A = this chain, B = another copy of it.
Amino acid sequence: MIRFECDYAEGAHPQILERLAQTNFEKTKGYGEDEYCENARRIIRRLCQTESADVHFLVGGTQTNTTVIASILRPHQGVVSAATGHINIHETGAIEATGHKVLALPTENSKLNASQIEKVFQEHWNDVNREHLVQPGMVYLSNPTEEGVIYKRQELQAIHGVCRQYNLPLFLDGARLGYGLVAENNDLTLPDIAKLCDVFYIGGTKVGALFGEALVITNDSMKKDFRYFIKQRGGLLAKGRLLGIQFETLFENGLYFDMARHAVRMAMLIRDAFCSQGFRFLRESPTNQQFPVLSEEQIKMLAQKYTFELWSKVDERHTAVRFCTSWATREVDVQMLIKDILSVKT
């Protein structure tokens, strides 16, 4: 069975394991106050071209989303998100468990846009009974989105503009950020994101680390006491250096981007194969997740050799499925898949 169902099916890039082994016997301070974390913070700040950002390392995405959102909102506020957003549908209500509603907006393509955020804000503040409603308190988006789509710089600038105007903090979930940054036609850079968002994270778990997310806080008012929040939500890793060492390794020589590029190149090969056979796609994704629409028979056929995820029913007889690639996806496996795609009856 060849696995394409997710981008966290393997361990980590071997360089990471080597660095963990090399440093294994050193004794350091715990909870992220060691030199490796400090150095990783420096590197990330440099890449983001922001000297003043706070950088924290957390273990996973749900934990990071919960910790950030609960730290920003006051009790009567909710977080604006695409209805397809990870926090709205794939975290077992973790945000609500901290007391806050997810204000879910329908989208055409899994991306929020500036004007719909503005509309939510204005409708709220124009309502004479607004005290009976949840107040929109911040905006959450993911890039790439859960469906592999990326924001253009202009789109993010427009959202930033609305957020700035209405004083809504903007939080970008970058669990798969690497794949977005290296995608064809992407025009967003880390410094752009650092400038346009109040807080965001660079995902490690799904981009070649064992685990870990690097959270970057650029808005001064959100920096205060943040380590308390991490601890309270169970995210302060005792051996924090494990995170520092990983992010050092990922970013000191561009390994992170190399791995993302490999994964995206593999995904494009898969995409092109489906395309050439005339398959439709749920979304036009330039990143490591591809969502071709297959019939039941086609699914059955491919499922004999490959694992992939059933994503969503498109109509009675068709389902969008997800093929994922990663740093560890072997080209030989992709070539075999392509051959099988090309032989699928359409």
Contact = CB atoms under 8 A, between A and B. Distances in A.
Residue from the set A17, A71, A99 with the largest chain B CB neighbour count within 10 Å: A99
A25 to B, nearest CB: 6
Contacts of A20: 11, 17, 210
Given A23-B11, A211-B237, A238-B205, A92 B63 contact: no
B100 A96 contact: yes
Chain A, interface size category, equals 35 or more
Interface string A7-35: 01111101001001101111111110000
Contact of A17 (B17, B230, B233): B17
Nearest to A28: B9
Interface in A237-270: 237-239, 242
Contacts of A89: 133
Given A71-B75, A74-B225, A135-B225, A231 B91 contact: yes
Majority SS at the chain A contact face = loop
A59 B62 contact: no
Contacts of A133: 89-90, 92
A178 interface: no
18 contacts: A9-B27, A9-B30, A10-B24, A10-B26, A59-B60, A62-B236, A71-B74, A74-B225, A76-B93, A76-B229, A78-B93, A90-B132, A92-B133, A96-B134, A131-B231, A131-B236, A211-B237, A211-B239
Interface of A: 2-3, 6, 8-12, 14, 17, 20-21, 23-31, 59-63, 66-67, 70-71, 74-76, 78, 89-94, 96-102, 129, 131-135, 205-206, 210-211, 225, 227-239, 242, 328
Top 9 nearest A-B pairs (CB, nearest first) are A63-B234, A11-B24, A76-B228, A92-B232, A9-B27, A3-B27, A93-B134, A96-B101, A8-B238
